[in-house]
Structure 1
Amino acid sequence: MTIRKPEYYDEFVCTANKCPFTCCREWKIEVDDETNEKWKKLQAPENVYPVRKNMSQYTQKKDNMRVIALNKKHICPFLNEQKLCRLVCTFGDDVLSKTCRVFPREIHKFLDQEEFFLMPSCPAVIDLMKKYPDCKYIEMDTENIEGKKNTEFSELNFLRNVRSIFSDWMRRKEFDPQENLKHIFFAALELWRILQENSNEDFLFSDDFNAQIKKNLKEYKTKKLQKELADAISKIPSDQESAIFEQNELFLDLTTNYEREGLYKSELKDVLNKARLIEEENSTFLLEQKRKFNDHFSKWQELFRSFLTAEIESDCLLPDGNLQDFIVHLEWIALEYTAIKQFLFLDWIQNGSLTYEKIRDTITLVCRMTGYEEDDIYEYMQDCFDDVVWEWGYLAFILT
């Protein structure tokens, strides 16, 4: 069995009451069944209001799961005035639900490997991404977990190879992060085309098919192919004016439910007001503002390259996933990145500054808002687009 994790994984420490964006507010905090049974036998600590019979009564069912019922201010009732958890202060960490104990850690379990990640919906994780712009992923064998390394050229190992290549592409510094993402998506769609053309189950991952795929992957590692792809893509004209409005519509669509539920009011109010006025702005003015903003935004390429690499590593390859899932998650990452950049653009128009703290908190916020479950991602894609697998041009368009 192999353990795999980013080199900064063990450096993560919750900043507790020093956190600029606590996870104890405006978020669904799941309570697992085992914890809920434990809570039925415990009374809440002092100063938790309203007073109830036991801690389980501070939970509710929502979206097919049991969660902590937030108060009228959308804050966890167990959070005290010093922004510390009353449960931890009174009982220790063992009383917490699995979600609270584990967050922002995420573990993907495969038959031959366990992969550990840190989710970017925590500002302390963004700090680590900034600290490690060229983060390496450490792999080590362990005898403590049953399982054996998968050495065959299976679909899983094929996807691992794809992820490894695309992670390397995202790290390339000769292109900015969004250009890297365009190149990656183009290559992923080419693999998807090969898979669709060879959909016979007897042929899939046969020796002949493996040879064809291996040839493609080998070419993806060559600078020659990468340069040819980059040159071809750079010559494709882009409609920057239309892209501004599409990016704005995507941002509004992704934030609609949160606004309706009264969540993240303080963070969203001003940018949503500005977003709704965008179509009234003069196009020439908007294009000039976007150009100036991009000049400022480009100074943070290293951070976004690190962020997008981490997203590819953690989100694209899931247990029981296939190439379509991989591609859909690339699209979701593009939507996430577009929303982050649009939020920052709208804020910049009003405030004229782009600080690290603003960028970090925006990444954290958008990642919380887009932290959908797998089924919900597919439902969103099916509702909003003609096909869950996009044409390359659309991803390139929203990344313009």
Structure 2
Amino acid sequence: MKIRKIITPNFYKKFRCVGPECLNHCCHGWVINIDKKTHNKYINSSDEEIRSIAKEALRLTRKGKKSYSMIKFNDEGTCPFFTADKLCRVHQKLGGDALSPTCAIYPRQEHIRGDQLRYNLTMSCSEVARLVLFDEDSMLQHQEVNLLASAANNKLVHEIAFGQTNQIIHLFAWNLLAAQSNDIEANLYALAQFILYLQRINFDLSHRLSEAESFYEELLTALHTDQLSVNNGESEQAALLKLRVIMAIYKDHINITLRNSGLRADYIYIANYLDEELSDITELKKKFSIINQQWQQLCATSCLKEPYVLRNYLLYQLYSNYFPGKDLSLIMRHFYRIVMDYFFLKVSLSVQSLHQEIKQDDVLHLFADYYQYVGHSASITDKLNKAINEINGGDDLSCLLLLG
């Protein structure tokens, strides 16, 4: 027997489907696979309406028991079991146990990392985004202990071993992003400095842990006393990299689908704002300077003004990916993705704020759309990594130019 820790964050415990109040419901614009057991249950249902809809809307795919069929959406791109009052007809008539695993599980996730089982929720659900961002205690974690049978433990070790060094780095990273500061981007800069330090010592925390702790304490002091700041001076290099991140990465990958329509429109809005005088680097620098000013104003006066909002978001990123991941050689690439996601959301909200007041619902729509895009495609990680390779000049540390 071996001990396994079960980690449950506050936002997971508090989550409840809000049904009709959902801003971006999950019964619209997605592929919903149905397992064979559920398929037969609906086709042979004693409820005439459920049976009729199933016979019309369930299209056989026979890709295995878990993907035996898929739901054919109506002309509005909505699940035919979805009612006019934004509720699930299956749930209403047959109860929650009748839902397919796909519908019953979403937005819940489970990840095993080393000796931990970590419960999570995907932020493609707008209610999850609300809980994570706007609940001050959302990222507090609850820990339970279970005994793991030896056979299951052997499987665990062989499939998902996660080193002690990685776990220590995760704690360092967590505390650096959680540390109080006057600018959340300074926290990201502090984490970058710590990553560079770890690379210099070849991640040898078994022999140099006390030295690492001293460097970490110096970074905390610098954050608390506002000695760490990101100042790229809106250089030409920074402006061009920012433009490449927006144009090269997202332009060709945000397909025009029902689920991506909001994000696609948002991207076009940004592109139009930046595209007036792309040949004039001075004008481009001015535009990004305006974006930074707008962002600072949003962080001071809008629904983003509470210091825990962006802090919770970045901690959610660490938690969801269990940063630094299993392969420490990719630590800077993982950090690049965190900075890149933050940058795109920052630019999107800042450009929107030039024309409208940013309210909580605007933030939730954007976050849910974005995390549907990056989290619900098997190929998106490879596409984004390829795009990063094309724009970073072989240096992932260049992501710091996206800050400030």
Which TM class, normalised by the smaller chain length?
Answer: 0.7 to 0.9
Of 147, 166, 175, the residue aligned with 1:159 is 166
Distance 2:380 2:267 in 1: 25
RMSD value, Cα: 3.9
Q: Percent identity of the aligned residues?
A: 18
Distance 1:231 1:113 in 2: 35
Q: Which amino acid aligns with 2:341?
A: E
2:401 is aligned to 397
Distance 1:213 1:14 in 2: 47
Q: How far 1:234 sits from its partner (Å)? A: 3.8
Q: Is it true that 1:183 corresponds to 2:176 in the alignment?
A: no
Output aligned runs, 1:1-400, within 5 Å: 1-32=4-35, 35-36=38-39, 38=41, 41-42=44-45, 46=49, 53=55, 56-57=58-59, 67-110=70-113, 112-129=115-132, 130-133=134-137, 135-143=139-147, 156-195=163-202, 209-212=204-207, 214-215=209-210, 217-223=212-218, 227=222, 234=229, 237-239=232-234, 243=238, 246-252=241-247, 253-254=249-250, 256-261=252-257, 263-266=259-262, 268-269=264-265, 272-280=268-276, 282-283=283-284, 286-287=287-288, 289-299=290-300, 300=304, 301-317=307-323, 321-324=326-329, 326-351=331-356, 353-372=357-376, 376-385=380-389, 391=395, 393-400=397-404
SS of equivalent to 1:107: strand
Count how many residue pairs are aligned between Structure 1 and Structure 2: 380
Question: What is the TM-score of this pair, normalised by structure 2?
Answer: 0.78
CA deviation string 1:260-305 (max 9, x = no partner): 3454335643651442341215447525532431232223242111
Question: What is the TM-score of this pair, normalised by structure 1?
Answer: 0.78
Distance 2:311 2:13 in 1: 21
- Cα distance, 1:274–1:334 mapped onto 2, change above 3 Å: closer
Is the 1:316–1:326 contact (alpha carbons within 8 Å) kept by the matching residues of 2?
no
Distance 1:33 1:185 in 2: 48
Distance 2:56 2:354 in 1: 49
Structure 1 residues 242-251 or 360-369, which shifts more?
Answer: 242-251
Distance 1:10 1:394 in 2: 38
- Cα distance, 1:237–1:79 mapped onto 2, change above 3 Å: same
Is the 1:316–1:327 contact (alpha carbons within 8 Å) kept by the matching residues of 2?
no
SS of equivalent to 1:53: helix
CA deviation string 1:360-391 (max 9, x = no partner): 22111111111156764144303541599963
